[in-house]
Structure 1
Amino acid sequence: MRTPIFRRQIFNFIWLALTGMGAILLWLREAPAQQTETKEKFIELSLEDVTRLALENSLDIQIAKFDAYIKRTSLEKAESLFDTFLNARVNFSRNKKMQTSSFLGSDEKEHGFSVGIEKKLPTGTTLTLDAMGTKSRSSSLFVTLNPYNEAEAGITLQQALGRNFFGLADRASIKITKLDIENSEFSSLDDMEKILADVQQAYWDFVLRDTQLVIAGQMFKSAETLYKIYQDKFERGLTEESELLAMEALMTKRYTEVIIAELEKETAKNNLFFLMNSGSFEEKVVPKDQLMTEAQSVNLYEEVKEAVASRRDYKRKQNELKSKGIEIVVNKNALWPEIDLGASLSRNHLDANRSRAWEGLGKNANDEFLVELRFKVPLENRSARADLAKSNLEKEKLLLGLKKIERLVLKEVHDAVNYVNIMQNQVSLYESIVKMHEKKLDKEIERLNYGRSDADTLIRYEEDLLEARRALSSYWHQYRGSLIELERAKNSLLDRYWQEPL
């Protein structure tokens, strides 16, 4: 049987060991602050800071921006329909074939060049300007001017009067491209907003882990206090050894919980740095914001009103409807026959001298004028009719999709508002529950001083308080997250922090 002196030596040893663990823990908590200038660097971060850093540095946000930048290049491609083309040609020919008439020469030479500019206008007009120079030589004795130079200049116009009436289809393709680009920008902004929400959520995850570390430290100190009380009572013979061992186990358990909380905080910090693409994983971070704040309920009507004005998926669907309306107009025009009006005016001058040939263009009206009207009528026109029917059906489908998005906006905002209000209510309830458990534990400790309590009851009450504090911090965390989700449901989170053009 152990003597009281032997027991006292054992528990003195246990006390020294636990005191040593406490000192190590305290050093682990305070050493980084003492070595800030030498090894580790502490930085303070707020929600505003991490949001700004994410907008500046996040790789995911930069990738989302490039999706819009790439789509913008399609506008220049669509407008290339109205590019100006420069045409040029140089030729040489010699004909020594046997001829059927003696009036024709047996040896003819010709060399020349031509240069022209061709451009299609937004009105559907194709304009061509040409200039040609030719020098000809013949062995025929019946050629009046031999050799001779011919200078010729002309202008040609082609105008669509039926299908693609005055460039209707050409301009429509550019309008649709612009709407597609705007929709791509909306999609990129949605992606950026989601990434920003993830960063903010990661920040509140870090704040939660920091809060839970503080709670774990407080519960360790509380368990340490209870252990000291029971050690003193044991040394005076007022309690059993099993009671003291139970308190020792509780204190050791609380110590391990502090270590796990430290690890979880470090993991949350590294995840935050990864999403921001900023900061060094060796740096120590102190959050400026507290998890607890003044929780407030939100008004459903005001939130829905804001969401209707800012939801990007609703705007995208409206743009799709506009594009489809333009497409229907084009498809209706495609039912028309092809009617093309053509007109050309050309003038030439001949002279033995090349310079005088070109100078004579302005002095002599050796003109040729041509006007023509061409028709091409598809008798069945089944392709155009099918395209028009398809476009009308797709428009009806888009109208139903728009109605669905309206319902979706109401549902998502309604759910988000309910979640915020429920979390606000849960926070309020658990704040009172934590106070009850704190008061309950304090009263039980008072009973312990009068010998009217036991270790099992104290441990159970302490566990109740720990769980209540953890639940309160979790509800605060969910409340913070619910506000982020509400902003996302309204598509207003990104606009709150970023007003620059994309």
Structure 2
Amino acid sequence: MRTANVKQQCKFLAIVMTATLALFIQNAQALSIDEYIGLAKEKNPLLKSYQYSLEAADARVKAAEIDLAPVLTSSYVKSNDKSRPSQLGTSREAEMYSLGIAKKFFTGTLVKLDASSGEFNNTSAPPGFDQYSTGTLGITIQQSLWKDSFGYGTRTKISRLEKLAEVEKLGSELQSRLALYDVESNYWDYALAQEDYRLKKENLERSQKIEKWTSNRVGNGISDRADLMNAKALMALREAQFIAAEEELKTQEARLRDNLQLAENDPTPKINGDLGTARPYLINLIKMKNVEKIESRIASLEAEARALVADETVDGLRPDLSVFGNYTTTSYDRDHQQAVSDIAKDDYPKNAIGVNFTWILDTSAKSATRDSAKKDALASQFRADKKRSEGKTSWAELVRKYDVLKSSVNTLEKVASYQRERAKAEQDKLSKGRTVTANVVLAETDAAEAEINLLRTKSSLRKLEASSLFFIDTQGAE
């Protein structure tokens, strides 16, 4: 007897553990919206491509200063010259090496360091010129004074490239968010389709019970044929609604599988589509002071870039006036190694200072170039102003709709609750013979419509929250 009790207890424990494990697995497989989006980002090629585009645009922001990168130069030349006439012999052989580095700074200052050496062998040349080596080590500094005055043009160009890179980055961000909005909308559409399918199935089952119950009453002579036709019409309507809900569920499931890039034999994951839980995007943005539509921000950055293009164009057409100075040490010896060793000695230096000037004369082409850039900048600014105004209106409209939908959800929850209670009351009255089938059918229909309207409004509210992805907080963006 005791052994049987132990076996029963073990069996009961095993059943409980199995049920608990099954429940755990079921809950573990149900994807939350954040888990679903994370999987989509990981598996969806389109979302992955936008991520790489964002990284590329971010790299281009850093690449805007490429003109300021140090430049290393080197050369090697070996020559044999037998041309006539020549005072250095009948044949002249030379090997020349050079190495240099140049760096431009934000101030428009260009600094160059150069080192060179050469070996010369001249056949039939006078003594002292038949074999010798030379070396030089010099520094050159050049400063722009008018065009690119103290680096103005350089800084303008860098700023323009940075703005354009920001435009590209925000453009990729917008495309990414558009794709994410579609992915999240599909999640809520699938959640809605699941709930709609469940409700339509329950409605169909209740209508079948009503039809069966009414049919029995007609057979017993308690109800007339009109009541039966009402019940059959309700059942047919619910069946059609159930078929439509089933088809919509399959459509949304196919979209969800495509977003997750599931293979044909992969099972569709369950989702924890809680339509009643608010998403954080919109709630967080409402707390911000400088909310702007991404499209508006892109237009503003494009306008700023166009303005910089105009400044850069005007600067590029200015006269080019620059001063430069050079100081070079030299060495000379018959032995090449010695000439290289003496390259930094200042026994035989040479130096130079000078001014360079270049001016594009004023012509109609020059004026047209300048005017074209300025008018492009002005047109871009007008477009940006319009986009900014539209963005502010869109944001205000989004917040207004959000408040309206939240209020609608609260109201529809009450309506659905009242309609459910009314349908139960009518069914209870019908079972007691205190009402007609038509009233039950009407109550059932109203209750079903109230439930669906509530679900659709909740889904719309979640998708409206997701649409706030198209807005950003621009605090500190200027």
Please state which band the TM-score falls in when normalised by the shorter chain. 0.7 to 0.9
On the 8 A contact 1:98/1:106 being kept in 2, the answer is no
Give the C-alpha shift of residue 324 in structure 1: 4.2
Q: Which of 295, 316, 322 is the aligned partner of 1:340? A: 322
Amino acid at match of 2:472: N
d(CA) in 2 for partners of 1:108 and 1:290? 92
Question: Residue 25 of structure 1 corresponds to which residue in structure 2?
Answer: none
d(CA) in 2 for partners of 1:247 and 1:454? 11
On the 8 A contact 1:47/1:200 being kept in 2, the answer is yes
Question: Residue 163 of structure 1 corresponds to which residue in structure 2?
Answer: 147
d(CA) in 1 for partners of 2:412 and 2:286? 29
Give the C-alpha shift of residue 349 in structure 1: 4.3
Q: Which of 132, 135, 138 is the aligned partner of 1:152? A: 135
d(CA) in 1 for partners of 2:277 and 2:340? 88
Distance 1:376 1:420, change over 3 A: closer
Question: Residue 82 of structure 1 corresponds to which residue in structure 2?
Answer: 69
d(CA) in 2 for partners of 1:70 and 1:48? 26
What's the TM-score, normalizing by structure 1? 0.75
Distance 1:363 1:478, change over 3 A: closer
Amino acid at match of 1:71: A
Residues 235-284 of structure 1: per-residue CA shift (max 9 Å, x gap): 42323456446534543553454344334223323312322446877535
Q: Higher mean Cα deviation, 432-441 or 202-211?
A: 432-441
Computing the radius of gyration from Cα coordinates, the structure with the larger value is 1
Q: Which of 392, 396, 412 is the aligned partner of 2:374? A: 392
Question: Residue 476 of structure 2 corresponds to which residue in structure 1?
Answer: none
**Displaced runs of 4+ in structure 1, greater than 6 A?**
302-305
Amino acid at match of 2:99: G
d(CA) in 2 for partners of 1:468 and 1:364? 97
Question: Residue 51 of structure 1 corresponds to which residue in structure 2?
Answer: 37
Question: Residue 121 of structure 2 corresponds to which residue in structure 1?
Answer: 136
Question: Residue 415 of structure 1 corresponds to which residue in structure 2?
Answer: 397
Amino acid at match of 2:134: A
Question: Residue 80 of structure 2 corresponds to which residue in structure 1?
Answer: 93
Give the C-alpha shift of residue 149 in structure 1: 0.5
Amino acid at match of 2:90: D
Count of aligned positions = 449
Look up the SS of the partner of 1:491 in the other structure: strand
Question: Residue 114 of structure 1 corresponds to which residue in structure 2?
Answer: 97
d(CA) in 1 for partners of 2:293 and 2:123? 78
Aligned runs of 1:311-390 on 2, under 5 Å?
311-359=293-341, 361=343, 365-380=347-362, 385-390=367-372
Question: Residue 9 of structure 1 corresponds to which residue in structure 2?
Answer: none
Aligned runs of 1:172-187 on 2, under 5 Å?
172-187=156-171
Identity, % of aligned positions: 15
Look up the SS of the partner of 2:29 in the other structure: strand
d(CA) in 1 for partners of 2:376 and 2:214? 79
d(CA) in 2 for partners of 1:294 and 1:190? 23
Question: Residue 472 of structure 2 corresponds to which residue in structure 1?
Answer: 491
d(CA) in 2 for partners of 1:72 and 1:436? 55
Question: Residue 61 of structure 1 corresponds to which residue in structure 2?
Answer: 47
Q: Which of 176, 190, 204 is the aligned partner of 2:188? A: 204
On the 8 A contact 2:319/2:359 being kept in 1, the answer is yes
Distance 1:166 1:282, change over 3 A: same
d(CA) in 2 for partners of 1:421 and 1:113? 79
User: Which blocks of at least 5 consecutive residues in structure 1 are unaligned?
Assistant: 1-32, 493-502
Give the C-alpha shift of residue 145 in structure 1: 1.7
Look up the SS of the partner of 1:264 in the other structure: helix
d(CA) in 2 for partners of 1:360 and 1:426? 90
d(CA) in 1 for partners of 2:429 and 2:291? 61
Distance 1:272 1:311, change over 3 A: same
Question: Residue 463 of structure 2 corresponds to which residue in structure 1?
Answer: 481
On the 8 A contact 1:135/1:149 being kept in 2, the answer is yes
Distance 1:326 1:62, change over 3 A: same
Give the C-alpha shift of residue 439 in structure 1: 4.8
On the 8 A contact 1:347/1:368 being kept in 2, the answer is yes
d(CA) in 2 for partners of 1:375 and 1:294? 67
Give the C-alpha shift of residue 111 in structure 1: 1.9
d(CA) in 1 for partners of 2:40 and 2:138? 59
d(CA) in 2 for partners of 1:194 and 1:387? 38
Give the C-alpha shift of residue 68 in structure 1: 2.5
On the 8 A contact 2:124/2:130 being kept in 1, the answer is no
d(CA) in 2 for partners of 1:454 and 1:321? 70
d(CA) in 2 for partners of 1:49 and 1:94? 76
On the 8 A contact 1:412/1:489 being kept in 2, the answer is no
Question: Residue 18 of structure 1 corresponds to which residue in structure 2?
Answer: none
Question: Residue 495 of structure 1 corresponds to which residue in structure 2?
Answer: none
d(CA) in 2 for partners of 1:461 and 1:114? 98
d(CA) in 2 for partners of 1:432 and 1:77? 59
Look up the SS of the partner of 1:237 in the other structure: coil
Give the C-alpha shift of residue 310 in structure 1: 5.3
Look up the SS of the partner of 1:306 in the other structure: coil
Residues 55-104 of structure 1: per-residue CA shift (max 9 Å, x gap): 433322211122223334545475156342322132222426467xxxx5
Question: Residue 193 of structure 1 corresponds to which residue in structure 2?
Answer: 177
Give the C-alpha shift of residue 199 in structure 1: 2.0
d(CA) in 2 for partners of 1:450 and 1:225? 15
What's the TM-score, normalizing by structure 2? 0.78
Calculate the aligned-residue CA RMSD, in Å. 3.9
Give the C-alpha shift of residue 478 in structure 1: 2.0
